[in-house]
Structure 1
Amino acid sequence: MEAALLYLLKANVVLALFAAAYYGLLRRLTFFGLNRVYLLVALVFAAVYPALPVPALLPAVALPALPITVLGATGAGSETAHLEASPFLNWQLLVLGTYALGAGLLLLRLLGQLLSLAWVRRHTQPVVVLGQPVRRLAGEGGPFSFGSDIYLSDSTLADTQHLAAALRHEQAHVRQGHTLDVLVAQIATALAWLNPAAWLLRRAVLDNLEYLADHAALQTGLDRRAYQYSLLHQQPGGVPAPALAFHFSFLTLKNRITMLNQPASTPGQLGRYLLAAPLVIALALGYTGTYAQAPATIVLDGPPAKGPIPIYYIDGKRIEPLTTAPLAGLNPDDIRSINVLKGEQAQQFDPVASKRGLIFITTRAGAATPEVIAFNNRVDSIAPIYTSEPAEVNAIAPKGLAYITKNYPSARVIAVTKYTRVSNSGVQYRVQLAEGKRPFYVFLTPQGDFLTEERH
Structure 2
Amino acid sequence: MPLSPTLLYLLKANGALLLFALAYFGLLRRLTFFTLNRVYLVFALLFSAVYPALPVPALLPPLEAPAVATAVAVLLPQTTAGAGTPQAGPTAVAAPAETPIDWSAVVLAVYAAGAAVGLLRLLVQLLSLGRLRRTSRPAVVGGVPVRALPGEVSPFSFGSTIYLNPARHPAAELAAVLRHEQVHVRQWHTLDVLLAQVAQAAAWCNPAAWLLRRALLDNLEYLADHAVLAAGLDRRAYQYSLLRLSQGAAGPALVSHFTFLTLKNRVAMMNQPHSSTGQLARYFVAGPLVLALALGYSGARAQGARPAASSQRKTAAPTLPDTRPEPVTHYIDGKVSTVAEVIKLGADNVAFITPLKGDNARKFSGNPQDEYVMAITTKQNQNRADVKAFNARVEAADTETEAEVNVLTPAALAFITKNYPNSRIIEVTKLNHPPTGLGVTYKVHLAEGRRPHYAYFDDKGNAVKL
Q: TM-score, normalised by structure 1?
A: 0.58
Separation of aligned partners in 2, 1:64 and 1:144: 60
Amino acid at match of 1:199: W
- Tell me the C-alpha RMSD between the 2 structures: 2.9
Paired residue secondary structure (1:234) = helix
1:236–1:249: 8 Å Cα contact kept in structure 2? no
**Counterpart pick for 1:139 among 124, 143, 151:** 151
CA contact (8 A) 1:137 1:151 kept: yes
After superposition, give the CA deviation of every residue in 1:128-170 in whole Å (9 maximum; x if it has no partner).
111111111100021111111111125534x323111111111
Decide whether the 8 Å contact of 2:166 with 2:174 is kept in 1. no
CA contact (8 A) 1:142 1:156 kept: no
Distance 1:7 1:270, change over 3 A: same
Q: Does 1:267 align with 2:290?
A: no
Q: Find 1:172's aligned residue among 174, 180, 183.
A: 183
- Give the Cα–Cα distance (whole angstroms) in 2 for the partners of residues 134 and 236 of structure 1: 22
User: 1:228, CA displacement in angstroms?
Assistant: 1.4
Secondary structure at the aligned position of 1:222 is classed as coil
Preserved contact between residue 222 and residue 269 of structure 2 (Cα < 8 Å) = yes
In 2, Cα distance between the equivalents of 1:76 and 1:175?
86
User: Larger relative CO (CA 8 A, sep 6+): 1 or 2?
Assistant: 1
Residues 63/87 of structure 1: CA separation in 2 closer, same or farther (3 Å cut): farther
Structure with bigger gyration radius = 1
1:169-248 equivalences under 5 Å are 169-235=180-246, 238=249, 241-242=252-253, 244-248=254-258
Tell me the residue number matched to 1:46: 48
Contact 2:61 2:303 in 1 (8 A): no
Asked if the contact 2:153–2:251 (Cα under 8 Å) also holds between the matched residues in 1, the reply is no
1:116 maps to 128
Q: 1:191 and 1:210 mapped to 2: Cα distance?
A: 24
Shift of 1:172: 0.5
State whether residues 141 and 166 of structure 2, in contact with CA within 8 Å, keep that contact through their aligned partners in structure 1.
no
Cα distance in 2 between the residues matched to 1:179 and 1:64? 52
User: Is the counterpart of residue 24 in structure 1 residue 26 in structure 2?
Assistant: yes
Q: Aligned to 1:193, what secondary structure does the other structure show?
A: coil
What is the rounded CA distance, in whole Å, between the counterparts of 2:99 and 2:287 in structure 1? 41
Which of 132, 136, 141 aligns to 1:129? It is 141
Q: Deviations over 1:43-74 (max 9, x none)?
A: 0100011111112223444678889888999x
1:95 aligns with 2:104: no
Q: Deviations over 1:192-235 (max 9, x none)?
A: 00000110000000000000111111122212222112111114
Q: 1:4-403 alignment to 2 at 5 Å?
A: 4-61=6-63, 89-153=101-165, 156-157=168-169, 159-235=170-246, 238=249, 241-242=252-253, 244-294=254-304
Contact 1:124 1:138 in 2 (8 A): yes
Q: Which runs of 5+ in 2 are unaligned?
A: 76-87, 307-466
CA distance in 1, matches of 2:71, 2:137: 71
What is the identity percentage for the equivalent residue pairs of Structure 1 and Structure 2?
A: 62
Distance in 2 between residues matched to 1:236 and 1:71, nearest whole Å: 79
Measure, in 2, the Cα distance between the counterparts of 1:60 and 1:96. Answer: 29
Structure 1 or 2: more strand by fraction:
1
CA distance in 2, matches of 1:71, 1:261: 79
What's the TM-score, normalizing by structure 2?
0.57
Residues paired across the two proteins, number: 288
SS in 1 for 2:245: coil
Superposed, which structure 2 residues align to 1:415-430 within 5 Å? none
Deviation at 1:18, TM superposition (A): 0.3
Counterpart Cα distance in 1 of 2:290 and 2:260: 33
